[in-house]
Chains A and B, each alone.
Chain A
Amino acid sequence: MEQKLIVSPSPHIHSGDTIQRNMVAVLIALIPAFLVALYTFRLDALLVTALSILFCIGFEYLIVRFVMKKEPSILDGSAIITGVLLAFNVPSGLPVWILALGALFAIGVVKLTFGGLGNNIFNPAIAGRIFLLISFPAQMTSWPATALAESATDAVSSATVLGLLKHSPETLPALQQMFLGFEAGSLGEMSAAALLLGLAYLLWKRVITWHIPVSILATVALFTGILFLIDPLPQYNPLIHLFSGGLMLGAVFMATDYVTSPLTHKGMIIYGVGIGFITVAIRLWGAYPEGISFAILLMNAFTPLINSYTTPKRFGEAVKHG
């Protein structure tokens, strides 16, 4: 044997897990939701998603290579995911230049100025969406009619479920429709069923654990459920809350973003409960019909604090006799 032996400290084997593999799993988990969006919004859905991905990858490459003067690693998949999630958070008819601005903000400001993957405090897609919402409120709240709506109505835009919930709860669609999808809204708000499929896939592949999605959804269900028991208005109906808006997308894909969520299980539950509370509070008593984006953004800010104060369950603390 000619070569020199390699010497390093243990361990000498590796699971083979890579950042890319985890990102690819997330993309696969998003496929059911994307298919529903395609069915509902046809070509627009494809365009928005494709463009968003292109913008995100493009900006990341350009900024990393020419501004930060480092080796770009767009192939790790994180920019692609930001692209997809950003697309899922905006109306499908959003003007292209606004989408590009959102991608620039998400990648350039929220992710790269903080140091790139691993160092950002806020979820880039969520922050990008909020930036667009605040800067372009009109365009960001005009939801195109779905391709399934009766063509008799000339409406080019219609209200989302949450919009209806806030302003005219009598005209809410059936629960089953909300669960399966096909209502007006952003691409990712469509089908709770498709998103839950995605959750199952992520759990199976061990990309995420159950703690964040379950604590968010449970908190929302519990909070609204208690209010519903006191006063059974449709605004307080827990099932409507669970199946409408960006809650499912947020709970499964956005809040579980590695970089911006806590490391320990205890921390994840605190984080999830916080998000649940804030989401419901904004939905019921805030000015906006949807609260999950702000909730996630706010709890992102708390993640370092939560990490400081929660430790994993240490070995030696349980002295049960078996």
Chain B
Amino acid sequence: MSVILTAVATLGAIGAGSAGILYLVSQKFKVEEDPRIQEVQDSLPAANCGGCGFPGCAAFAAACVKAENLEALNCPVGGEATMNRVASILGLTATKTAKKIAVVRCSGSCDERPRLNLYDGASKCSIAAALYGGDTGCSFGCLGLGDCEESCTFDAIHINPVTMLPEVVEDKCTACGACVKACPKDIIELRKQGPKSRRIYVSCVNKDKGGVAKKACNVACIGCSKCQQVCPFDAITIENNLAYIDDDKCRLCRKCVVVCPTHSILELHFPPRKETPSAAKEEEATVTA
């Protein structure tokens, strides 16, 4: 019996002593931190995705507390709700930033852009891109090996096995920018999501001359500049045989979509057109439930 008592007493004493030491040490070496940082951090989505430009939510919270105003600070994952919460904790005002979404600017599917050779290297876009211009005639287009899909921590982008192109899942995309960074061909861009998720963009990044581009892909932008001529808002620029729509100026009038001869400009989530029989194909390049 006394053996048990001795054992319990000894171990208990050791336990209590250790606890005491740990408590003293934690008090002595405590780091003084502005309590608001923790409060702000708790209101963040804790995705640690880097979309805000900071390495993790803790760093973003610290930056918010330190900042004088929240103009340059935005959490794309949490969006407006989160930034309002942060603003109320700190007694500042949140700036309204338009919700963005990842947009894949290539429509060169296997049907539209024939494969000319067989890539047999490691299955990584960055490796294929460093090796050569790709397995099609367009050396700018999507390689379909899925670096974007792998980089996404929100499960929001997947390679469609039939078209071999990435598709963005709208509900899940937080515009954190991971896929933009991962794509070695700079095909993915963060663009304004638009009212009712409607947006218009040139789904091509090919800078070859028109003839060469069209030979490689049916839906390539050939730089004919018809879209630029028809745009009433000066939103389109043509550079290096490639058209680009500025989404600050674009008013979603869809005139460019109709006039594009290769159907390279896409309009998303618009209602079907009523009159013109030569309406552009409604390319639903991204699909979600």
Name A's B-contacting residues (CB within 8 A).
Answer: 4-9
What B residues does A4 contact at CB under 8 A?
115-118
Asked if B246 CB lies within 8 Å of chain A CBs, one says no
List of A residues within 8 angstroms of B116 by Cβ? 4
Q: How far is the CB of B204 from chain A (nearest CB, A)?
A: 23
Interface segment, B11-19, B81-89, B119-127, B262-270?
A: B119-127
Complex CA–CA separation, A9 to B120 (angstroms): 8
Q: Is B135 an interface residue (CB 8 A)?
A: yes
Give Cα A292–Cα B225 distance, bound, in whole angstroms. 78
23 contacts between A and B (CB under 8 A): A4-B115, A4-B116, A4-B117, A4-B118, A5-B117, A5-B118, A6-B117, A6-B120, A7-B117, A7-B118, A7-B119, A7-B120, A7-B121, A7-B131, A7-B132, A7-B135, A8-B120, A8-B121, A8-B131, A9-B121, A9-B122, A9-B127, A9-B131
B250-267: which residues lie under 8 A (CB-CB) from chain A?
Answer: none
Q: Restricting to B75-131, which residues have a CB under 8 Å from any CB of A?
A: 115-122, 127, 131
Give B119's nearest chain A residue, CB to CB: A7
B118 and A6 contact, CB distance less than 8 A: yes
Chain A hits for B132, CB < 8 A? 7
Please tell me the number of chain B residues within 8 Å of chain A, measured between CB atoms.
12
CB of B149, distance to nearest CB on chain A (Å):
20
Distance, CA A7 to CA B132, complexed state (A): 9
- Given A6-B117, A6-B118, A7-B117, list of 4 further CB < 8 A pairs? A7-B118, A8-B120, A9-B121, A9-B131
A8 to B117, CA, bound (A): 10
Contacts of B118 in A (CB 8 A): 4-7
> Which residues of chain A are within 8 angstroms of B115 by Cβ–Cβ distance?
4
CA of A5 to CA of B127, assembled, Å: 18
In Å, the complex CA distance between A4 and B122 comes to 18
Residues from chain A with a CB closer than 8 A to the CB of B122 are 9
Residues of chain A within 8 A (CB-CB) of B119 are 7-8
Q: Which 3 A-B pairs give the minimum distances between C-beta atoms?
A: A8-B121, A8-B120, A6-B118
CA of A7 to CA of B127, assembled, Å? 12
Give chain A residues whose Cβ lies under 8 Å from the Cβ of B131. 7-9
Contacts of A5 in B (CB 8 A): 117-118
Chain A contacts of B120 at CB under 8 A? 6-8
Taken together as a complex, chains A and B put the C-alpha atoms of A7 and B131 apart, in Å, by 9
The residue on A at minimum CB distance from B120 is: A8
Q: Which residues of B contact A8 (CB under 8 A)?
A: 119-121, 131
Q: How far is the CA of A127 from the CA of B132 in the complex (A)?
A: 48
A4 to B127, CA, bound (A): 20
Alpha-carbon distance A9/B124, docked complex (angstroms)? 12
**B residues in contact with A6, CB < 8 Å:** 117-118, 120
Within the assembled complex, what's the spacing in Å between the Cα atoms of A175 and B181? 69
Interface residues of B in 24-43 (CB under 8 A from A): none
Which residue of chain A has its CB nearest to the CB of B134?
A7
Please give, as numbers and ranges, the residues of chain A lying within 8 Å of B135 by CB-CB distance. Answer: 7
Which A residues are in CB contact (< 8 Å) with B127? 9
**CB of B132, distance to nearest CB on chain A (Å):** 6
C-alpha spacing A7/B130, complex, angstroms: 13
What's the nearest-Cβ distance from chain A to residue B133, in Å? 10
Q: What is the CB-to-nearest-CB distance from B64 to chain A, in angstroms, rounded to a whole number?
A: 39
A9–B115 alpha-carbon span in the complex (Å)? 18
The residue in chain A whose Cβ has the minimal distance to the Cβ of B116 is: A4
The complex places the Cα of A9 from the Cα of B132 at a distance, in Å, of 9
Query: What is the CB-to-nearest-CB distance from B125 to chain A, in angstroms, rounded to a whole number?
Result: 13
Considering the complex, give the chain A residue whose CB is closest to the CB of B131.
A9
Specify the chain A residue showing the minimal Cβ separation from B132: A7
Measured CA separation A5–B115 after assembly (Å): 11
Query: In the complex the two chains form, what is the Cα distance from A9 to B122 in whole Å?
Result: 8
> A9 to nearest B CB, angstroms?
5
C-alpha gap A9/B116 in the complex (Å) = 17
Shortest C-beta distance, A309 to chain B (Å), equals 29
